[in-house]
């Protein structure tokens, strides 16, 4: 009995012992488990693998720790906290806003981004200009989001304020519902709105409900101080090194400029002009290993998909090839759509090959597009300027800052190929990025609709 008692006491003592700090556990197992959110502003899986601003940052953090990254993606914000509290995830990198209600369960690290919180409506439905204007209108928001806290705080001053919380949708889904007229109003953070307005140009900001809302990684309240401190050190260093700026540019750079009329025209031309050239873009893309939608985006930027387009400088056709470029590519008729598109695809592919091997995607694509526009030699000159300034010439964010300097005597007088209207390739790339993203969205919508359609001869009956 005495031996049994000793065994029981030893077992109890072992059970009650304090576990090692969370950071030590991660370093011991060699794994960092992170919960994130399926969203354009957090994490998604593309044909080339995982992507998203949160993924880029937390992957770099895992590399800094020297451990493997294991990410679990959830569809709802409400799923995140339980995974942290249960210990299934060591931390959350999901674009979470720091709120008092979340602080009851989580610790937040150093804020690495701030967003504005907008009340969104559809153009033509009447813009609310005050909280009083929305008291009798339908509002739907994402359940368990920080937007619930904001509306609850407003309700203290406006008791008549009501809304619906939906746990089965993402922020992009609600913006779509507003655009489709299914919901009158919703609440969205500025990054989500800036992306979705390119797809739904009638979305508008009615009111700013909150400005500079802080975004941060989240950690358990117990035993995670060392992990949180290490994450803070990483993010502060990443900010100083320009990494946060590069990640922001990669995913949001093209959303800064928005042209309502231009976006509506693009979507209309997608339906009216692109169909007669789409097969040509697809064939050229397959031949030269380029996403046909990127080629189509170049074609729209160049000519708005007009085969007979001619510029004041003499470039012609859908892809606006110069005579020298056409001769170089062996193209006789620049205004023939098939020839022009095939030539543009070949020329773009060659620019991509000329970009330094040290440049990764998507920066490689943006630099190749800049070379398509301004010429590869001027891109080389911009790389020199970035190096002189102590920047990283393998990143588009530094290159996009250097290219406009080619129009300043101080800089173009020092580089081999001289003056260039260097601001033009930056605008060119941003426009194509916006068109490309819209094309991806439109074609994915087509695929989803096609998958939902029953067979032409009707549904099959079960045997």
Which residues are identified as catalytic? 302
Can you state the angle between helices 225-240 and 22-29, rounded to 10 degrees?
80
Q: What is the DSSP letter of 405?
A: G
| Among candidate residues 107, 87, 89, the one with its CA nearest the CA of residue 98 | 107
Let me know: does 252 contact 266? Beta carbons within 8 Å: no
Alpha-carbon distances, residue 7 vs 2, 11, 12, 345, 402 (angstroms): 9, 6, 9, 75, 71
Specify the pairing of strand 203-215 against strand 140-142.
Answer: unpaired
Let me know: does 96 contact 215? Beta carbons within 8 Å: yes
b/e code 3-23 from CB counts within 10 Å (16+ = b): eeeeeeeeeeeeeeeeeeebb
Instruction: Provide the CB-side half-sphere exposure for 382 (13 A, CA).
Output: 31
Residues in the chain: 463
Strand partners, 393: none
The SS3 of residue 107 is strand
- For 418, counting Cβ atoms within 10 Å of its Cβ (0-12 exposed, 13-18 middle, 19+ buried), the class is middle
* Rg for the chain, CA atoms, rounded: 26
Biggest CA-to-CA distance, the chain: 100
Specify the pairing of strand 186-189 against strand 164-166.
Answer: unpaired
- Tell me how far apart the alpha carbons of residues 306 and 316 are, in angstroms, rounded to a whole number: 10
| Sheet strand arrangement including 68-74 | 68-74, 31-37, 91-92, 218-220, 106-108
Name the token pair of 143: 């359940």
């Amino acid at each position: 009995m005495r031996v049994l008692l000793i065994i029981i006491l030893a077992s109890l003592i072992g059970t009650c012992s304090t576990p090692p700090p969370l950071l030590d556990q991660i370093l011991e197992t060699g794994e960092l488990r992170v919960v994130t959110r399926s969203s354009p502003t957090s994490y998604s899986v593309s044909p080339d693998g995982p992507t998203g601003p949160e993924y880029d940052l937390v992957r770099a953090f895992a590399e800094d720790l020297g451990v493997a990254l294991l990410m679990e993606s959830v569809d709802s914000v409400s799923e995140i906290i339980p995974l942290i509290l249960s210990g299934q995830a060591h931390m959350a990198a999901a674009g979470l806003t720091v709120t008092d209600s979340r602080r009851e369960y989580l610790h937040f690290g150093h804020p690495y981004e701030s967003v504005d919180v907008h009340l969104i409506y559809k153009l033509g439905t009447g813009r609310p200009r005050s909280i009083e204007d929305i008291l009798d209108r339908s509002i739907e928001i994402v359940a368990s989001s920080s937007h619930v806290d904001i509306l609850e705080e407003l309700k203290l001053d406006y008791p008549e304020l009501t809304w619906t919380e939906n746990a089965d949708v993402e922020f992009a889904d609600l913006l779509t519902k507003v655009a489709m007229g299914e919901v009158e109003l919703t609440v969205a953070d500025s990054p989500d709105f800036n992306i979705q307005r390119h797809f739904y140009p009638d979305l508008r900001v009615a009111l700013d409900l909150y400005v500079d809302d802080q975004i941060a990684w989240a950690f358990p309240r117990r035993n995670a101080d060392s992990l949180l401190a290490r994450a803070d050190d990483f993010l502060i260093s990443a900010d100083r090194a320009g990494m946060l700026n590069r990640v922001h540019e990669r995913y949001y750079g093209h959303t800064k400029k928005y042209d309502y009329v231009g976006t509506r025209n693009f979507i209309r031309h997608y339906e009216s002009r692109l169909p007669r050239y789409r097969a040509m873009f697809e064939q050229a893309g397959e031949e030269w290993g380029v996403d046909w939608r990127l080629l189509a985006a170049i074609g729209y930027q160049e000519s708005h998909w007009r085969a007979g387009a001619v510029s004041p400088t003499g470039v012609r056709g859908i892809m606006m090839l110069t005579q020298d470029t056409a001769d170089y590519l062996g193209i006789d008729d620049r205004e023939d759509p098939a020839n022009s598109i095939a030539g543009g695809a070949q020329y773009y592919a060659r620019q991509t090959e000329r970009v330094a091997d040290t440049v990764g995607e998507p920066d490689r694509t943006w630099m190749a597009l800049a070379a398509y526009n301004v010429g590869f030699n001027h891109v080389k000159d911009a790389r020199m300027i970035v190096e002189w300034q102590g920047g990283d010439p393998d990143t588009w964010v530094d290159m996009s800052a250097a290219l406009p300097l080619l129009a300043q005597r101080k800089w173009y007088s020092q580089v081999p190929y001289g003056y260039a209207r260097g601001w033009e390739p930056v605008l060119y790339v941003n426009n194509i990025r916006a068109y490309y993203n819209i094309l991806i969205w439109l074609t994915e919508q087509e695929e989803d609709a096609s998958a939902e359609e029953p067979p032409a001869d009707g549904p099959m009956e079960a045997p």
